[in-house]
Structure formats: C-alpha cells, structure tokens
C-alpha cells in the first residue's frame, strides 16, 4: 500500500483544481439573490429602453435577470445601475456591462447574463433618470 507524501497530495489537489477550473468560466462566485437593477443601452444608435427589475443572481463580475423585453442581443453593451432604489438619498454604482448569455425561458421570457466590464462610479439617485 502506497502512502502519499505532501508533494503527492499537492499534485493531486492541483490536478483536480485544473479540471474544475476548465469547466467553470466564472471568476467569482454568484449569489442567488434579488437585487433591483436598472439597465439601458449604452449605444446611442440603438432604440432607447430602460428596465428596472430584480436579479436572480449576482456576482462581483456580473448579474443575471429575467425579462420579457426582446431587445437584448449577445455582445450588446448596457449601462447597469446597482442597486437601484427609489430612495432619493441612496447612492448606487453604475457599470458598463455586456450581454454574454441569453436563455429562452418560455414563450415570453428570456434570461439575460451580463458581464460587468467597467465601474463608471457612484450615481446619486437625484441624478438618475
């Protein structure tokens, strides 16, 4: 019976970590939570729309939500305000995000995954429109 020394244990742990990292592309863990966000296109050439909705999951580098709006396309860039609230004293962060995932949920709903590309800074509620 062979016993494993510390080096063998490290090699085994490294190999199993490599296998799991190739199947998982996310850089940070996601939390299944509802958080209100506001999304709108960043491209002035596109028809303007604005949605305020709850996320189904959030991570440090992205958000996922369900919508009935049909305008989302892979690669589309959006302004994303997190968290979004009606409180006039609240501060939120605005990000530039990109649609990286679209899931057809049913005849009317789509799941949208956004990757947050850039932090655009704090936004006071009184300046959000």
And the tokens for 82? Answer: 């997190």
Rounded average pLDDT over 7-30: 46
More confident residue, 88 or 57: 57
- Whether 99 and 112 have beta carbons less than 8 Å apart is answered as yes
Q: What is the pTM of this model?
A: 0.73
Q: What is the pLDDT of residue 19?
A: 40
Domains of the chain, start order = 30-127 (2.30.110.10)
Choose the weakest-confidence range: 29-33, 63-67, 121-125. Answer: 29-33
The C-alpha torsion from 66 through 61 and 95 to 72, rounded to 10°, is: -30
Nearest Cα to Cα of residue 112 among 125, 98, 99: 99
Pairing of strands 30-31, 36-41: unpaired
Q: What is the pLDDT of residue 8?
A: 45
More confident residue, 26 or 84: 84
């Amino acid at each position: 019976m062979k016993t494993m020394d510390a080096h063998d244990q490290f090699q085994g742990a490294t190999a199993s970590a490599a296998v799991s990292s190739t199947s998982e592309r996310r850089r940070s863990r996601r939390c299944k939570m509802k958080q209100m966000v506001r999304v709108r296109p960043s491209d002035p050439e596109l028809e303007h729309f604005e949605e305020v909705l709850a996320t189904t999951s959030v991570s440090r580098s992205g958000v996922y939500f369900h919508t009935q709006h049909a305008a989302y396309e892979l690669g589309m860039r959006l302004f994303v305000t997190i968290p979004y609230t009606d409180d006039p004293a609240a501060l939120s962060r605005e990000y530039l995000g990109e649609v990286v995932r679209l899931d057809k949920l049913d005849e009317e709903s789509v799941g949208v995954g956004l990757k947050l590309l850039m932090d655009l800074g704090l936004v006071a509620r009184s300046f959000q429109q």
